[in-house]
Structures are given as structure tokens and as C-alpha cells.
Structure 1
Amino acid sequence: MTTVFFAAKVLKGSHWRIGNGSMGSIYKDRWLPCPSTFKPCSLPNIGDCASVNQLKSPSGGWDVDLIKSVFFQVDVDSILSIPPCSTLTNDVLVWHFDLYGRYTVKSGYWVGRSLLNGPSSSGLSNVESW
């Protein structure tokens, strides 16, 4: 039971770092750099199973016009903050709370503590204030 709980908490802090964008669904997978959900808040306008690579132009950059026409502004800003990457680079699952995307016991501990304790009196989570 503890292992399942721990694995679920680790997944809450992980998301896909986009390379070629083939990792899966725009709306179902965790890929945006926003720790609340790592998912778009916009309604599915492209299709539930559309993949991130469908948001890219043939040159490998983001299709800005398509993104602006389909997503809420908060999602547009989040998507466009992701640097475009080579079509040869695979998507990689990363830990959000480490500069290099690596999970460590220390960072997992602090995120776990913040999830248990909730927001601090400053309004910031323990992770943010740490």
C-alpha cells in the first residue's frame, strides 16, 4: 500500500519534457510546465487523442497560429514557453522539482511533506518556500 501511495506522489511531480512530441495525448498526458496539473486547462478542441506533435510546424517549431486558435491564453503561454526541440529527440519523463529533471529522495521528501502539510502561512507551499 505504501509503495502505491509513494508511486502516485512521484507521478504528481513528474511530466514529459517535449522533444518530438510523440509521447501521447495533448489533453490526457502531463506535459506542460505548470505544476498544478501539468495538463492544459482548455477544452479538447483538436480531439481527445491528438498528440503534441500535431501542435508543431513542419520545421519543428510550434504552430503558433494553431495553438492560439485552440487553447486558452494561459495554455498558449505555457506551451510557447517550451523551447522547440529537434524532431529526432524523444520525449522524456522528468521530475519537475529538480533543475535537471532528476528525481532525488531529498526532492521527493520535500514535495511529499508539502502535500501532507498543505500551504504554509505565507501562502506558498513548503516546496516553494524551501
Structure 2
Amino acid sequence: MRCDFLEANDCPNSSYVWKSLLAAQPILKKGRCWRVGNGASIQVLKDYWPPNQPTKKVLFQPEDEIWEWRVSDLIDWQNHQWDKEIIEALFHLFDVKAILKVPLSRRVVQDALVWTLTKNGRYTVKSGYHVAKQMRKEENHSGECSVQRANNPI
């Protein structure tokens, strides 16, 4: 089965190189977010796209979930702006505010995955390293344990 790298899984007979690449997945997932262009590539409830949300996702599931729902379905193409009426009718107020803050492109361009932790939206090893350090710190403080952890460098 073909899928996006960020959705790929390991399998028992995968190579050391593939396992090494997959080790970077959590870091990449932590800093990624979709930049809305035409909205056709972005799934409303599954993808990470409202960058001003804590999780970069819609937080409250709407009562009416539409199959294959795309961000493009929430855009008023006549006026090139969010369809505020539809958004307010379907989403929790917290999500409405977050969605309406997402800037829309005046040009109809493709959606793009961006790295939210640099100003230009591009991944750098330095920014990835900082994410890895932060994740390690969170992991070490997630719970107390009587067993001493091995010193595992990033």
C-alpha cells in the first residue's frame, strides 16, 4: 500500500535505513502543518492545518461529519474568503475562531506542507534537533520511575 511518508509504518523485514528514517517521523510530525492554498489536499478533520490551534487540528468534532471533507469545501470561491456561514454552522466556536484566522491565498495555488518552527516554513536540521531535544525532555518528565533510564543521545 502506498502512502505519505508521515503516515508510513514499519514492518518486520524493513531495512536498517528505513527504520532510521522512521525514527525521524515523530519530529517531523511535531513541526508540520498545511499552508492552505486551494484546500483540495487538506482533510478537514484528519490533517494538521489550523496553525493557531494547540494541536494544529480541529479540536471539537462537528456533529455532522462529511466523508472526504476537504478544506476547499469551507471556502467561498466567489469572494476568495472563508465561508463564515458554513463554518459557524458546523464547528465549535473555538474552532470557528481558529479557522477564520487562517490566511487564504488570493491566488489559487496548491496546498503546501510547511515546517512551523522556522520563519520561512522550511525544515532545518537545527530546528529539528531542537524539537528532538524538547520531545526528549517531555518524555523524561512524563512520569517518575524507580528504574534509571539509559543515557540515550538524540
Q: What TM-score range do you get, normalising by the shorter chain?
A: 0.7 to 0.9
Separation (CA, whole Å) in 2 of partners of 1:35 and 1:9: 18
For residues 12-34 of structure 1, what are the alpha-carbon distances to aligned partners after superposition, in whole Å with 9 as ceiling and x for unaligned?
Answer: 21011001111131001111114
Query: By how many angstroms is 1:86 displaced?
Result: 2.8
Q: Does structure 2 retain, via aligned residues, the 8 Å contact 1:24–1:49?
A: no
| TM-score, L = length of structure 1 | 0.82
Q: Does 1:19 align with 2:37?
A: yes
Aligned-partner SS, 1:97: coil
SS in structure 2 at match of 1:15: strand
Gaps of 5+ in 1: 122-130
| Structure 1 residue 35 displacement after superposition | 6.1
Q: Which residue of 133, 138, 141 corresponds with 1:113?
A: 133
TM value normalised by structure 2: 0.70
* Aligned alpha-carbon RMSD (Å): 2.0
| Alignment check: 8 A CA contact 1:46 1:70 kept | no
1:103 aligns with 2:115: no
Q: Do residues 29 (structure 1) and 47 (structure 2) align? A: yes
Alignment of 1:33-44 (within 5 A): 33-34=51-52, 36-44=54-62
Write the distance in 2 (CA, Å) between the matches of 1:103 and 1:109: 10
* Alignment partners' CA distance in 1, 2:33 and 2:26: 13
**Which runs of 4 or more aligned residues in structure 1 lie more than 3 Å from their structure 2 counterparts after TM superposition?**
none
Give unpaired runs (5+ residues) of structure 2: 1-18, 142-154
Larger radius of gyration: 2
Corresponding pairs, count: 120
Alpha-carbon separation, structure 2, partners of 1:68 and 1:60? 17
Choose from 112, 117, 120 the match for 1:92.
112
Deviations 1:40-97 (A, max 9, x none): 0121424141100100112220011111111112211111111121352111110011
Shift of 1:110: 0.6
